[in-house]
């Protein structure tokens, strides 16, 4: 019994650090009303500090290959890789949320408590190797998001987004649980290692195939894969910029690690593999076409994530170690390039409103650093060299070519060309559009615009009007809300460097995940 349990405290240091952080924030929540400093940065500094500690501890355990709790919990190279990504992503998302303008100071500690709980659930999910354990860890990470998404001061859109996420999440959870019951009935086990040795063809195990399809539906909901994507654009649009940055990145990592482990059950010629290939093609095409017509930047990124979910599925359809490694690598690319895009959006929208493309007009004049980092995010999202998005997608399509679904490679390449329009529109507006394109001109004055307003954004502007709604005479006063502080620039440059350097020197990371992926396959 003790041998099968194989509990070793040193194997779960990252999980322990997050648990300590959850306890700290829980106590801080109870004390924050009596000691208001608990709700300020002074009370929140342990969040990034302990997050960095968890990142380092997870990264120091890549050499492990151990099973705990009767093989339901695995500590291996793949789990540690995703723990590093989740921990580092959590640190960046938390730092991004410190200056959240739509969050009351009295609620900050509670907000970060739920943020940490969600990240803790995702860290546990990275090592889950049994379907019930996966289900419980997934729910632990999800319940906190049900609370976080509506937290946006005086916003009906946030309340609507929260309600949609709860209802759709409950439906996806029920579908996954129903599928789990079918798998148990057909295969009589829930351990992934045991399931990998069993048949997954419709002819032999139709009930098992249907159950796995339903269970995967719960993962597809988190990944925002078509047709489980319908919540994604509305939630991104309704949630605050900082919350949307977290929801758009970290929960996706949890879904990807589970899908990679479950992909070991699939073979290239199985019926369920063909279903996944079709879903990937439809998701990529639908997401890109819908993103083309969006004006709201977060809504555009929402449909963009639907397309990227399809890209990640390409690696799983390949059914090889190279495909699984490419999916894991692209998950890292997706994390950093989306965090960079949301970081810039948050720094431009210092009043917390949603941005449109026109809000980026003149950004290169107002803040060359943020404009450059936004361009790096756009180039990576559209997969232009030498960014991490380019090399990640290259490895995805090369892993699939020659494995029975070459048509899907063509679909991905065509859609990558379609995505150029809306991603590079970010760069076009930041560098070439007139910053006064949408600013009303004075009616009866020929005075030139003030120099101070020449560096302001059209969307981040406030034009004073009379009671009748007419623009008064005189120079137009424009308020620039772009954050040009050192904090803003350091975060943007750090993420921008990650996007660039991981595209130029990808081999060490890819070799690491490839070795981990080979250890998963029989």
Q: How far apart are CA 309 and CA 327, in angstroms?
A: 10
Domain parsing of the chain, residue ranges: 2-432+482-520
Q: Are 63 and 80 in contact (CB under 8 A)?
A: no
The pLDDT assigned to 172 comes to 84
Q: DSSP letter at 191?
A: B
Q: Are 76 and 68 in contact (CB under 8 A)?
A: no
- pTM for this entry: 0.85
Q: How far apart are CA 222 and CA 224, in angstroms?
A: 5
Q: Provide DSSP, 28-59.
A: HHHHTTTSGGGGSHHHHTHHHHHHHHHHHHHH
- Residue 477 belongs to what H/E stretch? none
Q: Is the peptide bond before 386 cis (omega within 30 degrees of 0)?
A: yes
Which residue has 């995703």 as its token pair? 82
What confidence tens digit (pLDDT) does each residue in 431-444 have? 887 665 554 444 44
What confidence tens digit (pLDDT) does each residue in 356-374 have? 888 888 888 888 888 899 9
Centre a 10 Å sphere on the Cβ of residue 518 and count the other Cβ atoms it contains: 14
278 Cβ contact partners less than 8 Å away, ≥ 6 residues apart: none
Q: Where are the alpha helices (DSSP H) in 149-198?
A: 156-187, 192-195
Structure tokens at 256: 């990807």
Q: Are 331 and 312 in contact (CB under 8 A)?
A: yes
62 Cβ contact partners less than 8 Å away, ≥ 6 residues apart: 77, 80, 81, 512, 516
Phi then psi for residue 295, to 5 deg, are -110, -35
Nearest to 458 by CA among 480, 489, 436, 431: 436
Q: Are 346 and 245 in contact (CB under 8 A)?
A: yes
Q: What is the 3-state secondary structure (H, E, C) of 231-271?
A: CHHHHHHHCCHHHHHHHCCHHHHHHHHHHHHHHHHCCCCCH
Nearest to 303 by CA among 226, 375, 246: 226
Q: Are 147 and 114 in contact (CB under 8 A)?
A: yes
Which residue has 């308020």 as its token pair? 479
Higher pLDDT, 161 or 180: 180
What confidence tens digit (pLDDT) does each residue in 7-22 have? 777 788 888 888 888 8
At residue 340 the predicted structure's pLDDT band, cuts being 50, 70 and 90, is: very high
- Residue 129 belongs to what H/E stretch? none
Q: Indicate whether 478 pLDDT > 50.
A: no
Nearest to 311 by CA among 326, 297, 298: 326
Structure tokens at 211: 């159950």
Which residue has 């063809």 as its token pair? 201
The pLDDT assigned to 472 comes to 44
| CA count, 13 A, side-chain hemisphere, 313 | 31
Cα separations in angstroms, 390 against 5, 271, 497: 43, 30, 15
Q: Are 275 and 304 in contact (CB under 8 A)?
A: no
Centre a 10 Å sphere on the Cβ of residue 57 and count the other Cβ atoms it contains: 20
What confidence tens digit (pLDDT) does each residue in 83-117 have? 889 988 998 888 888 877 777 777 788 888 888 89
Structure tokens at 143: 């319940």
Q: DSSP letter at 355?
A: P
Centre a 10 Å sphere on the Cβ of residue 467 and count the other Cβ atoms it contains: 5
The pLDDT assigned to 338 comes to 92
At residue 447 the predicted structure's pLDDT band, cuts being 50, 70 and 90, is: very low
What confidence tens digit (pLDDT) does each residue in 451-463 have? 333 334 433 434 3
At residue 75 the predicted structure's pLDDT band, cuts being 50, 70 and 90, is: confident
Radius of gyration of the chain (CA): 23
């Amino acid at each position: 019994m003790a041998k099968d349990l194989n509990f070793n405290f040193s194997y779960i240091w990252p999980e322990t650090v997050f648990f300590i952080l959850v306890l700290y924030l829980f106590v801080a929540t109870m004390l924050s009303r009596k000691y208001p400093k608990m709700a300020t940065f002074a009370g929140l500094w342990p969040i990034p500090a302990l997050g960095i500690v968890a990142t380092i501890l997870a990264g120091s355990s890549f050499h492990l290959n151990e099973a705990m709790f009767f093989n339901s919990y695995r500590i291996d190279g793949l789990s540690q890789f995703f723990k590093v990504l989740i921990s580092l992503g959590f640190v960046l998302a938390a730092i991004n949320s410190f200056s959240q303008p739509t969050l009351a100071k009295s609620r900050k500690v509670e907000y970060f408590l739920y943020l940490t709980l969600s990240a803790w659930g995702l860290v546990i999910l990275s090592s889950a190797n049994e379907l019930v354990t996966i289900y419980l860890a997934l729910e632990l990470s999800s319940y906190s998001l049900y609370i976080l998404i509506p937290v946006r001061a005086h916003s009906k859109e946030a309340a609507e987004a929260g309600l949609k996420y709860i209802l759709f999440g409950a439906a996806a959870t029920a579908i996954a649980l129903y599928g789990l019951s079918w798998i148990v009935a057909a295969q009589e086990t829930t351990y992934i290692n045991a399931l990998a040795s069993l048949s997954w063809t419709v002819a032999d195990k139709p009930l098992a195939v249907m159950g796995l399809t339903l269970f995967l539906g719960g993962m597809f909901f988190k990944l925002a894969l078509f047709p489980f994507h319908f919540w994604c654009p509305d939630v991104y649009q309704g949630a605050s910029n900082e919350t949307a940055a977290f929801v758009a990145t970290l929960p996706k990592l949890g879904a990807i690690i589970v899908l990679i482990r479950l992909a070991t059950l699939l073979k290239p010629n199985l019926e369920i593999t063909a279903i996944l290939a079709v879903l990937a093609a439809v998701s990529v095409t639908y997401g890109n076409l819908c993103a083309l017509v969006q004006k709201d930047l977060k809504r555009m990124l929402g449909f963009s994530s639907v397309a990227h979910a399809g890209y990640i599925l390409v690696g799983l359809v390949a059914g090889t170690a190279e495909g699984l490694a490419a999916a894991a690598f692209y998950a890292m690319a997706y994390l950093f390039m989306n965090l960079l895009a949301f970081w810039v959006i948050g720094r431009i929208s210092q009043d917390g409103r949603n941005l449109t493309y026109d809000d980026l007009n003149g950004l290169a004049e107002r803040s060359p650093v943020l404009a450059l980092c936004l361009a790096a995010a756009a180039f990576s999202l559209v997969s232009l060299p030498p960014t991490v998005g380019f090399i990640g997608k290259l490895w995805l399509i090369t892993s699939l070519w020659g494995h029975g679904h070459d048509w899907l490679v063509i679909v991905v390449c065509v859609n990558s060309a379609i995505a150029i329009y809306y991603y590079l529109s970010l760069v076009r507006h930041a560098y070439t559009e007139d910053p006064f394109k949408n600013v009303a001109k004075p009616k009866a004055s020929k005075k030139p615009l003030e120099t101070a307003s020449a560096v302001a954004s059209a969307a981040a502007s406030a034009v004073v009007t009379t009671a009748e709604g007419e623009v008064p005479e005189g120079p137009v006063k424009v308020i620039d809300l772009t954050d040009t502080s050192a904090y803003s620039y350091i975060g943007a440059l750090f993420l921008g460097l990650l996007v660039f350097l991981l595209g130029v020197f990808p081999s060490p990371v890819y070799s690491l995940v490839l070795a981990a992926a080979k250890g998963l396959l029989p």
